[in-house]
Structure 1
């Protein structure tokens, strides 16, 4: 039996994107031949590996010198991505799975190069035109870009029924399939752990309040810190588990290391152990 070949692409290093990984693993378990391509920001991550039947490729984008030069970095990034997609276009795939709008233009190009002989799937991980920090000419650009590119897609996937209905209203397309951002169902009962207490030396008498996710503006992080300061809890600590542009700001908090902590992302297979280590989140 010939397996359908799937090329799935995302612009991150695939360390913590459980949605993308779980979809790829599910396809592989159903007999699809899946190649998943991301980018390699940290050289400690393998350039290629095989996990649960999925071939994972991480492409190293740029060196330290190029990363420091803003406009050179932007041009280099565009040229780099186009080169990688042209290389992949030589391989005979049956399905191209584009995660988020920032990969869709390359998927459309691959479909055109292959004269439409490949199916194109657009997986919108959020309501793209309403992302945090998107306004002005950038909002207009994203709106027009999505409206144009979505016409080339054979199927669209979203994260919730409300967004799916909105895409039908906006673009007049077939209602997108909905795949929720849910963890894999576990048959075993979750055993509560104390990983944060062990890592940061937090005493058992203090309750742990956990924020878990990216540390970017617009996610309520500043509000959480302000509320925590106002409450001034003697028996509580605040742990931010994630990475992003606000990491350094959190570390400047006067109570950082005492009642405010930051922990980096962890792999999905151990994430539940960390989540269960908090008292509230």
Structure 2
């Protein structure tokens, strides 16, 4: 019997979208034939995967022209091929996937990585935000099989569209490291880690200011993004070059080596729009699996995990003094630090991809 074919569409960088990779790998283990369709980006790195990757170079890579070009080319690609399932990742791939699935009578599954129309980059841009909201209004009530990354987003969409999305959180595998190697940070001080995309609203600037109020603690930044140069300039301006260390981009299969070296992990996303408010960042789970206590902002989904599993401490605002006090109190409380690490050992057996991925069986039969 021939394998069922699944087509996966994504505008993110295929080489770094770990959610897409985990899902595709699981589907292959269930005997599906998987093809991932993405784009060539300037910083794309070559990767070896157990599934086929199709990458298209685009004339446009930003703004409306990119989305239009991507969806037109994706539709033309799909319309001359046959698959059993089309998996659309995020709203920006959905138009072409939706119409192709209708014309070809193909099962459509939608994975919403975020509350797309409420993203921080859309705040204050009324026309652009209105455009994405209209797309959600048109498509989401019509899709029978969909899931997303946090309970708050499930509830938001269900209240608006009564579409009963599923919940599949972006948690790591228990053994989320392929290349084990000895690594080190460029400091002998204790460290607090930020890992992830360097975009606005991640709480990095308040953390840099908070460091001035704490002795013997440096900030490690792993990742890249649009505000990296701005952050580097800010570090110089604040005279914190000796205390803030930019490690750059680390491949996912090596990242855990670095994560587990840190003393603490920071998850200080700021509420820049509902997408951030309802987000459940990957790094929160990475820190739990690495057993490093967490300093977190008091947003609903993050709070739910930190409180339920008792894996860190929450700050109620982003004032550097508030952050510094929370960190100092935690570092000086050895009993609490020990309890948090014990709780993380238990939590990572529950908050893991080995359990979460089984929910995919409902969507791909």
Could you tell me how far apart the structure 1 residues matched to 2:154 and 2:54 are? 30
Q: Alignment partner of 1:12: what SS?
A: coil
For 1:4-51, what per-residue CA distance to the aligned partner results, in whole angstroms no more than 9, with x for missing partners? 2111011122222111110010011001111011211137634xx752
Given the alignment, which residue of 112, 116, 139 partners 1:128?
116
CA contact (8 A) 2:208 2:240 kept: no
Q: What is the TM-score when the length of structure 2 is the normalising length?
A: 0.64
Correspondences of 1:1-281 after superposition (within 5 Å): 1-42=1-42, 45-46=45-46, 51-52=49-50, 54-62=51-59, 75=65, 78-114=68-104, 117-135=105-123, 136-173=126-163, 175-186=164-175, 195-197=183-185, 201-203=186-188, 206-229=189-212, 231=213, 233-252=214-233, 253-254=235-236, 255=239, 257-281=241-265
**What runs of 5+ residues in structure 2 fail to find an aligned partner?**
266-365
Q: Alignment partner of 1:109: what SS?
A: helix
For 1:163-197, what per-residue CA distance to the aligned partner results, in whole angstroms no more than 9, with x for missing partners? 21222211022x21211110012399xx9x76242
CA contact (8 A) 2:176 2:253 kept: no
CA contact (8 A) 1:61 1:77 kept: no
CA contact (8 A) 1:215 1:247 kept: yes
Could you tell me how far apart the structure 2 residues matched to 1:183 and 1:76 are? 31
Q: Alignment partner of 1:51: what SS?
A: coil
Structure-2 change in CA distance of 1:250 and 1:123 (3 Å):
same
Q: Which runs of 4+ in 1 moved over 6 A?
A: none
**What runs of 5+ residues in structure 1 fail to find an aligned partner?**
none
Structure-2 change in CA distance of 1:82 and 1:256 (3 Å):
farther
Shift of 1:76: 5.7
Shift of 1:80: 4.7
Could you tell me how far apart the structure 2 residues matched to 1:225 and 1:246 are? 14
Q: What is the TM-score when the length of structure 1 is the normalising length?
A: 0.82
Shift of 1:79: 2.4
Aligned length in residues: 258
CA contact (8 A) 1:240 1:261 kept: yes
Question: RMSD in angstroms over aligned alpha carbons?
Answer: 2.5
Structure-2 change in CA distance of 1:258 and 1:143 (3 Å):
same
Could you tell me how far apart the structure 1 residues matched to 2:67 and 2:120 are? 22
CA contact (8 A) 2:88 2:94 kept: yes
Could you tell me how far apart the structure 1 residues matched to 2:13 and 2:75 are? 17
With 84-93 and 25-34 compared, the bigger mean Cα shift is at 84-93
Structure-2 change in CA distance of 1:196 and 1:140 (3 Å):
farther
The structure in which a higher percent of residues are helix is 2
Could you tell me how far apart the structure 1 residues matched to 2:18 and 2:87 are? 15
Q: Alignment partner of 1:185: what SS?
A: coil
CA contact (8 A) 1:7 1:93 kept: yes
